[in-house]
Each structure stands twice: as structure tokens, then as C-alpha cells.
Amino acid sequence: MKILVTGTAGFIGFHLANYLIKRGDEVVGLDCINDYYDINVKYNRLQQTGIDKEKLEYGKEVQSSKYPNYKFWKLNLTDKENINQLIENEKFDTVCNLAAQAGVRYSITNPYAYIESNIIGYINVLEACRHYNVKHLVYASSSSVYGLNEKMPLSTKQNVDHPISLYAASKKSNELMAHTYSHLYGLPTTGLRFFTVYGPWGRPDMALFIFTKAIINNEPIDVYNNGNMVRDFTYVADIVEGIVRVIDNKPKGNNNWSGLNPDPSASKAPYKIYNIGNNNPVKLMDFIDQIESKLGKKAQRNLLPMQQGDVPATFADVDDLVRDLNYKPSTSIQTGISNFIDWYINYYNVKL
């Protein structure tokens, strides 16, 4: 297939692009390479796929030096003219939109960044997909849409009308906008609610990265809600496998769907929502224990109250994923944390 992956300088987008390139798809990557976190990590991810930062120029195509079936564009999703032109010219089978302003806490202090990227940028992608005959739009949503929901495991059958961060609200908006386009224009769309993704090349603003760095440097770690947090940590390779299965299986619409008893995750239109999570929630303190075990060092734990925008627990119901795509994430936190720390030590040339 010919696939556009947005956000390929980012964590999940980088891993997805690698997978698709290596299985033989024709892949175009896109990223604006903003400075939300260390851009050197982003440039080094790009380098792994043969994209030299010295050749990057806004709005210009760069051919990978490693893979003939991969090229990259430095573009912002808010640039409607260039996004339209790219999608019109390339005639993609599938667009996988992983580019977004990420982070729950950052959305509290920088709300406009989320409207620009996650709403305005996203509508540009939707419009281009509609006008230029893209056959399937796959896009990143988030477990954060569950907000105040407390019934576990969190299911796509649940109503998600009580987000507690603007980031979560922007992702819920993406799902609603996708359904509108699926209904009005027959555009097949699939939204993926990711649950706490971690692994090699991860984001420096996320817990595993922050904890690992602090413990290595003998610095205290901030543990919110006094450590009474539970997360469905999901290894990045499992996330990518789920995305690829979704890419290969576009939704057709459910003729049995009823407006009298509406399933929020489906529709008569070609629209679907899936959770992608490990279906195995882990206590935050146990997660930290695993990092300590791998590093052979103890953390200095600074217990703090809950932060605004955070939820105490996540736990994914993945029954739909298993039923429709015969897939369930399975990587243990022991394996995932070990792989991340091995990468971190090598990447930063750490001497323990």
C-alpha cells in the first residue's frame, strides 16, 4: 500500500514507519519537528530511517538514504495548502494520523497548541482525505478520553463525555469529527485509543523516561497521588502491531447498529473505535520497582498529591480488538522496561 504516516519524528510514528517500510509498503512520513521536547531525539529517530536533518527544508521532500520506499516531508498539519497538495499528488491508500500535540499536563498551561494541532490540523487531514479519495483514515485517539469514567475495564461501549483535560477533549473531538466524515462522505475512519505507550525511543516527557533518568542521576522522582496510580502500560511494538492490523482492515459499517441503543464505538457508517492496551493494569509503585530492579539502583520517591488532568487508573477492554482483528497486546512490563533501559543506556552512553 501507499501510506502517509504523520508524526514520524515522534515516538509511535517513528516505530510505525519503520515497520511499514520494512514490510514493503510505500511510505511517506511527515512531521513539523516542534520543540515540545528535545528535538535531538526527533532528529535521531529520523536518522534511523535514513532522513538526514541537514537536508530538511520546510515544504520539501527528502528521500531516505536507507530505504527507497520511504520519503519525508517537514510540514505542519495546520498548513492546509501544502497538506492538500501532498495528499492530492501522492494518491495515498491510507493516511495514518499520529501527529498531534501530546501531553495531558502541557494542555493545562498551553491550551491553544492543542486547538491548532489537534483540531485545526486534524480537520485539514480530514478534508484532504475526503477530497482526494483516501481509502482509509486511521488516527490516534487516547485513553484519556475516558476522563471521569470509573467502571473498569474501560470499554469503547462506554459514554466518554467527561474529559478532564483539553488534550482529552481534543481527542474526543477527533472521534466525533471522524464519524461526521464517515457518515457524510463514506470515508472509512478508525480511531485508536492508546493506553500509556512506552518503549525504546520513547518521549522524554513520559514517566519511564523521567524515572530512568532521575534514578541513574541519583535524583528524586515525583510520584503523584502518593503512588496510588494504576496504568495499563502498553509496549510500543504491541501498539504498532495493532495499528498495522487496523490499517489492513478498514471498517465497513455495521448494518445492525441502532440509534435506539447506540454503540459509541461503531456506526452504520464505515467508522470504528478500538482500545489498544495491554489489558493488564500495573500499580505505579510496581512499575518503579521494575525500573529499580533493572538498573540495580533505588529511587528516591517524592510522594505528591494528584495532578490536575490525571486519572487514578486506566485498564483497557480489548475485546473488540481480539474479536475483529484477532490481536491482543502481550508484552510484559519486565520485558518492555528492560528493552527501554537497554536502549536508554546505549543512546546516552550511560555508565552504571
CA distance 105 to 10: 18
Q: List CB contacts of 123: < 8 A, sequence separation 6 or more.
A: 177
Strand partners, 140: 192
Nearest to 322, CA basis, from 180, 183, 153: 153
Write the burial class of residue 334 (CB in 10 Å: 0-12 exposed, 13-18 middle, 19+ buried): exposed
CA distance 143 to 158: 12
Per the CB < 8 A criterion, the answer to whether 125 and 77 are in contact is yes
Residue type, 93: D
Catalytic residue among 70, 167, 327, 344: 167
| DSSP at 96 | E
Strand partners, 77: none
Residue type, 349: N
Q: List CB contacts of 199: < 8 A, sequence separation 6 or more.
A: 15, 235, 236, 237, 336, 339, 340
167 is an active site residue: yes
Q: E strands of the chain, at which residues? A: 2-6, 26-31, 61-63, 70-74, 94-97, 136-142, 189-194, 197-198, 220-223, 230-231, 234-235, 271-276, 282-283, 300-303
Query: Given the C-alpha cell 487531514, which residue does it identify?
Result: 125
Write the burial class of residue 264 (CB in 10 Å: 0-12 exposed, 13-18 middle, 19+ buried): middle
Strand partners, 313: 230
| Catalytic site positions | 167
